[in-house]
Amino acid sequence: MTPAETRADSPPATDAAAGTASRTVTRGEGTAAASDRPVGTASAATAPAATAPAATVAESGAVTDGTRPADDIAVGRQDGSGATPSADGRSSRWRRFRWTPRRRDLAVLGGFLLTAVWVTSQIWVDPAGRVASLYSSDPAQVQFFLAHSVRVVLHGEFPFFTEQFNYPDGVNLMANTAILALGIPMVPVTLLFGPAVTFVLLVTLGLAGTASAWYYVLSRHVVRTPLAAIVGGWLCGFSPAMLSHASWHPNIISQFLLPFIVWRVLVITRSTRPYRDGALLALLVTTQAFINEEILLFTAMACGIFLLAVVAQRPATWSAAWRPMAKALGTCTVIAGSLLAYPLYVQFAGPMAYHGLSDAVRDYGNDIAAFFAPGSPTLGGDQRANINLAPNYSEENAFFGWSLALIVVGIVVWLRRELLVRALAVTAVFFAVLSLGERISWWDRELVTGPWEWLVRLPLLDAVVPTRFGLITSVVVAVLLALAIDRTRELDLPRPAVRTLTVAGLVLALLPILPMPLPMTSRPPVPKFITADRWRPYVGPDQTLVPIPVPSMGNAHGMRWAAATNLDFKIPGGYFLAPRNGNTGDPGRFGGRPSGMGALLEEVASTGRTPKLDDRQRRRCLDELRQWRAAILVLPVRQHHAEPLRQTVEQLVGPGRQELDVWVWDVRTLTDPSA
């Protein structure tokens, strides 16, 4: 595609100049071949995925704005800054000496890392003793999965299924985001410092790594202005949507592979080595599948919508793109399909498989007003003001604030003549509408039925939380903002005026959503009885330790106990997704088969009332303990409502004894079949 095809207002003379440009262009530290540039994407664009593409690459491989010859721009980017030397050359040489592209990149990456540390600072104070102030189950689940990675590496355990919780049924880990691609590389950290430290480290690196990856792709392939790439990367990594997930979901915020997946998808539209490029894409896709499949699906959908929007505007691009793209995607499908075939078989047809999400989350959607409010963990955010605008505080997947939302609309109007901007706008709107869910509402007032109502039952989409489509819109917004900053250099205004307008616009857009430290609260420590290995004389390899209350979605502390020992003991129950009734096929729900004892103790823990149990209830609870092959029941002395819980357990199995900081009931004589 020529510059004229991507910039509707480009004059013919400029197109001719770009058409004769060199087939390669120096990009700071290396030379990029024209064969690595996609067709039909207008700039070296990177398509939207949980993110989106952006910029304009001519056939020559040079980035052009339609007003300057490609050769001039290539020269201007030799020093990575786009600036030309001054008359005497001394100040320019001094700047290049003091502020090389490599040093600038390191400074930017360091800034992103410091921002991530600032955001997670409240949990870094005490990783094992601090947790998100609203929901504590998700971090406990992630820490359990990190401990599972240790067992995979050290003990060769099966990676895709475990019986270490929800014993004896077990849990299908491929269907529960076991984050093996994050947990396995972090095994040394988990062994040395524990899964709680690994959790906060992954959150920190996920935020900083995502921002850095987008900065790299934007600066090399999309925009020429360093500030544009910095702002675009920063917003991709620290948007309100990313911040809302940071306290709970490191698998969702670890999006550092996505910009490279998006870029490789665009590259294959004109690849001269489609089989090689397809293989590279397959490796990226396979790795991302073991981080988070939902985000990978979003990426594929976003790339597809973006490319369709490009082709719809310029049908001629399809004739040049379909052959290399078909070869590359075919190669990617064969390789990635081979690598993922067995894990996906376990996920969809293995033990404890399910199809479709729990009704508790299937209808999650954004309120339209959520796009105009600042996110809770931001400078201008207010948790109380955001009530009913999102399903909960861990799913604030929009929340741009009024100023940024209006500025983005203005950017689209301003740059509407560019094919790239129009395609990005279509992508952003498409996924913003899907993120509204099955019922579209304004300030919690239902308006109409949303299009998601007709898509929610489709294969794969039935396992998607619709509000998270807003993550795609967030990245598209970041790319549009980067493009706008880059295009300001073309304004027919004095440079001081342009700088003033740019800074003012950025302050207006980004100050209200400036990230703030994630709010944390204290959580109960792992009992010394567990950390001191005092449980080991009681619990055999095929027996379970039963935390009181029994682990569930609302109380996952027992999962943290097991994770602290690298899952050396099994537990019943837990927080996970599993089929409702049969072993496979039906929609998922949170938790395993219903437990009478679990429900009884959960009610006592929440109300503080001690029930009077009859013989039938005792027999049912004892049957469950036998099914779990329970060795001991453990109740922390400082557990909330510990005394009512102790009295209830004593009605079931008799008196216990205090050992260190817990009450212990040895029930082996009651549960051993040979006794």
Tokens of 286: 């396979």
Q: Above 70 in pLDDT, residue 282?
A: yes
Structure-model confidence comparison of residues 359 and 77, the more confident one: 359
Where b means 16+ CB within 10 Å and e means fewer, 313-331 reads bbeebbeebeebbebbbeb
Note the Cα 287 to chain centre separation in Å: 14
Both tokens of 313, joined, read 């505007």
Classified as helix, coil or strand, 633 is strand
Ramachandran area for residue 30 (φ above 0: left; ψ -120 to 50: alpha; else beta)? beta
Which of the two residues, 586 and 626, has the higher pLDDT score?
626
Greater model confidence, 78 or 441:
441
DSSP state of 370: G
Question: Over the stretch 169-185, which tens digit does the pLDDT of each residue have?
Answer: 999 999 998 999 999 99
- Spell 408-424 as b/e; 16+ CB within 10 A means b: beebbeebeebbbbbbb
Strand partners, 578: 589
Give the pLDDT score at 91.
55
Selection from 502, 503, 508 nearest residue 484 by Cα: 502
Mean pLDDT of the chain, nearest integer: 86
87-101, 119-133, 384-398, 521-535: which range is least confident on average?
87-101
Q: Which pLDDT belongs to residue 484?
A: 97
Give the pLDDT confidence of 311-321 residue by residue, as tens digits.
999 999 999 99
Question: What is the mean pLDDT of the segment spanning 354-378?
Answer: 87
Q: Contact 660/532 with Cβ under 8 angstroms? A: yes
Each residue's pLDDT tens digit, 387-423: 788 888 889 999 999 999 999 999 999 999 999 999 9
C-beta atoms surrounding 90 within 10 Å: 10
Mean pLDDT of 62-72: 35
The answer to whether 663 and 671 have CB atoms below 8 angstroms apart is: no
- Examine the pLDDT at 333 and tell me if it is beyond 50: yes
Interior CA angle at 383 toward 377 and 389, to 5°?
Answer: 105
Q: How far is CA 524 from CA 195, 551, 573, in A?
A: 16, 14, 19
- Average pLDDT for 115-122: 96
pLDDT cut 90: percent of the chain above it: 72
Given this model, what pLDDT does residue 93 score? 56
Contact 446, 377 (CB under 8 A): no
Which of 109-118, 336-345, 406-415, 610-619 is least confident?
A: 610-619
Q: How far apart are CA 594 and CA 581, in angstroms?
A: 10
Would you say residue 279 has pLDDT above 90? Answer: yes
For the residues of 571-593, what is the DSSP string, one character each?
A: -S--S-EEESSSSSSSPEEESSS
Residue 674 has a pLDDT of: 65
- The domain ranges of the chain are 256-354, 528-670
**How confident is the model over 136-141, as a mean pLDDT?**
89
Please report the pLDDT score of residue 136 as a whole number: 74
Q: Report the 10 Å Cβ neighbour count for 477.
A: 28
Residue scoring higher pLDDT (59 or 562): 562
> Which run of H or of E encompasses 662?
strand 662-666
Give mean pLDDT, residues 12-31.
Answer: 37
Run of H or E residues at 428: helix 419-434
Tens-place pLDDT, residues 560-600: 999 999 999 999 999 999 987 755 557 788 888 888 999 99
Of 5-14, 477-486, 580-589, minimum mean pLDDT range: 5-14
Asked whether the beta carbons of 617 and 600 are under 8 A apart, the reply is: yes
